[in-house]
């Protein structure tokens, strides 16, 4: 190793790289990663998520069901505060080809994953709403929301 005192440029470059490395880590830490399971009992294993306004969140949803995908799939659909959740869920029933989400109501969604069949993990990265409040997330697979497959993102 060369003596850095004699190589101020090298020392500067090394310090700059160190600084970039630390900055990248700080940014990475500000993304909240929420890993959860969707269960055969029609529940999200995580039913409460806390976030700060605008915080970047990655939700990873794993379905480890042994049932076929047509019988037991799960998704994560985070809805705007103003959404009529029952109506939204019901409207999706006719849209199996679109993850049981009515395309006409997509403006009521903040973020959503695709459907995960057994053994699959789906994920989505989004920014939490800037407005403090409680935001409902559901699984739109038929019967799941009605069976209790929902949770709350609290922004404060
Ligand atoms: Cu589900």
Full 3-state SS string of the chain = CCCHHHCHHHHHHHHHHHHHHHHHHHHHHCCEEEEEEECCCCCECCCEEEECCCCEEEEEEEECCCCCCCCCCECCEEECCCCCHHHHHHHHCCCHHHCCCCHHHHHHEEEECCCECCCEEEEEEEECCCCCEEEEEECCCCCCCCCCCEEEEEEC
Ligand 1 centroid vs 8 CA: distance in angstroms?
59
Ligand 1 centroid vs 141 CA: distance in angstroms?
5
Q: Which of 24-28, 109-113, 141-145, 150-154 has the lowest mean pLDDT?
A: 24-28
Q: Which fold has domain 32-155?
A: Immunoglobulin-like (2.60.40)
> What pLDDT, in 10s, does the model give residues 40-60?
999 999 999 999 999 999 999
Ligand 1 centroid vs 142 CA: distance in angstroms?
8
> What pLDDT, in 10s, does the model give residues 101-136?
999 999 999 999 999 999 999 999 999 999 999 999
Q: What percent of the chain has pLDDT over 70?
A: 83
Domain-wise residue ranges, the chain: 1-30, 32-155
């Amino acid at each position: 190793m060369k003596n850095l005192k004699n190589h101020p440029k090298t020392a500067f470059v090394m310090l700059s790289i160190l600084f970039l490395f630390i900055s990248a880590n700080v940014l990475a830490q500000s993304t909240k990663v929420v890993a959860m399971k969707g269960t055969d009992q029609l529940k999200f294993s995580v039913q409460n998520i806390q976030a700060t306004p605008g915080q970047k969140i990655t939700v990873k949803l794993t379905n480890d069901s042994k049932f076929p995908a047509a019988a037991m799939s799960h998704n994560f659909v985070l809805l705007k505060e103003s959404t009529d959740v029952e109506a939204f869920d019901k409207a999706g029933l006719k849209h199996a080809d679109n993850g049981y989400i009515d395309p006409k109501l997509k403006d009521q969604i903040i973020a959503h994953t695709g459907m995960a069949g057994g053994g699959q993990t789906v994920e989505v990265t989004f920014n939490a709403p800037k407005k403090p409040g409680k935001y409902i997330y559901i699984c739109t697979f038929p019967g799941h929301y009605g069976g209790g497959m929902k949770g709350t993102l609290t922004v404060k």
